[in-house]
A and B are shown apart, each in its own frame.
Chain A
Amino acid sequence: MHKTPSSSYLGPGGLDLSKSFFTPIAGVEPPSPTKRRTKITVVGVGNVGMAIAQTILTQDLADELVLVDANSEKLRGEMLDLQHAAAFLPRTKIHAAVDYDATAHSDLCIITAGARQKPGESRLDLLQRNVSIFKKIVPPLAAYSPETIILVVSNPVDVLTYAAWRFSRFPANRVIGSGTNLDSSRFRFLIADHLDVNAQDVQAYIVGEHGDSSVALWSSISVGGVPILSFLQRQQITYEKKTLENIHREVVESAYEVIRLKGYTSWAIGYSVASLARSLLRDQRRIHPVSVLVNGVQGIDCGNVFLSLPAMLGRGGVMGITNVHLSEEEAEKLKKSAKTLLEVQEKLDYLLG
């Protein structure tokens, strides 16, 4: 991809300083193909895509950032708005394109494209619109970056991750959905806020569907290493099951609440996905609850379905699913979640062929 000049007046035909400004060292060889730079593609430059792109930029996670969308004016505007911050950021090459050739050799492709969830609309209602969009996006992404990791963010994320897996024909370790990574962060925020402690000291997972049928793993919550449920028992603090369900429901509702109040969510999902990008590209081997292929895991054997479980992520994508202990009730809920998603996927088989 040749360099497009940013100024009309600096360069050939205008004021050209570039040829004489720097003198190359004699005998220089061109950069070898192994001296690769980290390249991230973000598909979709709406509020979510841009919050992700901008957080990745601020956190210095990529050498090259490619923005892809169908709307070329919006694309160019967003690209310029990021480029103009060059004096305040580490140097990152930022490109914008409607065509997929610009995305070639990406290390990570983040897909946020798709119709936005309307207030009151459930995530499953979006489905058919978004699967058709993915049918146009995923095959060229996969063709231009056959080694890449695909990270799906668009909703409903679990089914769309399944769709991306089918369309890309990638091995399952390289197709991940952002899943319940954000739900879990919201959960951790509520508990941390109650205890007035840092959210990073709260281990708490919400798993299953990123949506109404998600499962809060109460039996696995710990703060500073102290398991919560046994703490409550030791301190003889009684609680009703209903209270736990209400707290979980608060987490699920909070996404809808933000959408109702400000029209959409952006910042939190931006940080959530940037966190996943960092774990993947920097081989951090960190555990995140993300949407992965769970056939045969935790007693789920109903078929190929993607839903969130705590998984270790690194440069190879999903390095493994954590063998977290589930209570009988939690395991049952998870199986139910899987069944719901499978039913929905079956309705789409005609689109995925």
Chain B
Amino acid sequence: MHRIPSSSYLGPGGLDFSKSFFTPINGSDSPSRSKHNTKITVVGVGNVGMAISQIILTQDLTDELILLGVNPDKLRGEMLDLQHASAFLPRTKIRASVDYDATADSDLCIITAGARLKSDESRLDLLHRNVAVYKKIVPQLAAYSPEAILLVVSNPVDVLSYVAWKLSGFPVNRVIGAGTNLDSSRFRFLIADHLEVNAHDVQAYIVGEHGDSSVALWSSISVAGVPILRFLHQNQIACEKKTLENIHKEVVQSAYEVRRLKGCTSWAIGYSVASLARTLLRDQRQIHPVSILVDGLYGIEGGQVFLSLPAMLGRNGVLGITNVSLSDEETQQLRNSAKTLLEAQAQVKNFIN
């Protein structure tokens, strides 16, 4: 892809001082193919796509960032707005395009494109609209970057991760959905805020569907290594099941609340996805609750389904699913979540081919 000058007056035809400014060393070779730059493609430049892109930029996670969308004006405007910050950022090549050739050889493709969830609309309601959009996007992404990791953010994220997997033909370790990574962060925030402790010291997972049937793993919550349920028991702090359900419901509702108050969610999902990008590209082998293919685990039957479980992520995508121990009730809730998702997947199976 040849370089497009940013100024109309600096360069051939205008003021051109680039040829004599720097002198190359004699006998230099060109960069070898193995001297690879990290390249991230973000598909969709709405509030979510741009929050993700900007945080990735601020956190210096990539050498090259490609914005892909359908609206060329919006694309160009967003690209310029990021490029104008060059004096305040490490140098990152930022490009915007409506064509997929610009995305070639990406290490990570983040898909945020799709219709936005309306207030009070459930994520599953979006489904059909977004499958059609994915049919246009995923095969091309996969063709231009056959080694990439696909990270699905659009909702409903679990079913769309399944769709992306089918449409890409990629092995399962390289197709991941943002899943409940953010729900878990919201959960950890509530607990951390209550205890006035740093959220990083709170281990807490919400798993299953990123949506109404998600499952809070109360049996696995610990703060600074202290398991919470056991702590309650030891300190004879009574706790009604209803209270735990209410706290979980608060987490699920909080996404809808933000949407109602400010029109969309952007920052939190931006940080959440940037965190996944870092773990993947820098091979951090950190555990995140993300949407992955679960086939036969936890007694989930009925077929292949994508839903969130704590998974170790690294440069090769999903390195493994954590063998977290679930209570009987949590296992049942997880199976119910899977059932909901399998039904949704069944609705789109024909659509994909």
A284 CB, nearest partner CB in chain B, Å = 13
Known contacts A87-B200, A193-B6, A194-B11, A55 near B58 by CB under 8 Å: yes
Bound complex: CA A204 to CA B135 (Å): 47
**Which single member of A17, A84, A192, A199 contacts B195 (CB below 8 Å)?**
A17
B118: interface (CB < 8 Å): no
A-B pair count, CB < 8 Å, reads 260
Instruction: Specify which chain A residues have a CB less than 8 angstroms from the CB of B76 in the assembled complex.
Output: 261
B225: interface (CB < 8 Å): no
Bound complex: CA A20 to CA B232 (Å): 9
On B, residues with C-beta under 8 Å from A are 3, 5-11, 14-18, 20-22, 50-51, 54-55, 58-59, 73-74, 76-78, 80-89, 91, 182, 184-186, 188-200, 202, 223, 226, 228, 231-232, 235, 237, 239, 243-244, 246-247, 250, 254, 257-263, 265-268, 270-272, 274-275
Digitize A208-243: 1 where CB-to-B-CB distance is under 8 Å, 0 elsewhere: 000000000000000100101001100101010001
B213 CB, nearest partner CB in chain A, Å = 20
A44 CB, nearest partner CB in chain B, Å = 14
Bound complex: CA A250 to CA B74 (Å): 19
Known contacts A85-B271, A86-B185, A186-B84, A197 near B247 by CB under 8 Å: no
What are 10 contact pairs spanning A and B, CB under 8 A?
A: A7-B247, A73-B260, A73-B262, A77-B263, A84-B265, A190-B6, A194-B17, A195-B22, A261-B76, A268-B84
B89 touches A235 (CB 8 A): no
Known contacts A81-B266, A188-B87, A244 near B189 by CB under 8 Å: no
Instruction: Specify which chain B residues have a CB less than 8 angstroms from the CB of A247 in the assembled complex.
Output: 7, 9-10, 14-15
Known contacts A10-B190, A84-B268, A258 near B262 by CB under 8 Å: no
Bound complex: CA A200 to CA B268 (Å): 30
Instruction: Specify which chain A residues have a CB less than 8 angstroms from the CB of B243 in the assembled complex.
Output: 9, 14-15
Q: A237-B15, A275-B87 are in contact. List 12 more A-B contacts (CB 8 A).
A: A10-B194, A14-B247, A20-B237, A54-B55, A54-B267, A80-B257, A81-B266, A88-B271, A191-B10, A198-B91, A223-B21, A257-B80
Known contacts A235-B20, A274-B88, A9 near B10 by CB under 8 Å: no
A190 touches B88 (CB 8 A): no
Name B187's closest neighbour in chain A (CB-CB). A87
Name A244's closest neighbour in chain B (CB-CB). B15
Bound complex: CA A198 to CA B88 (Å): 11
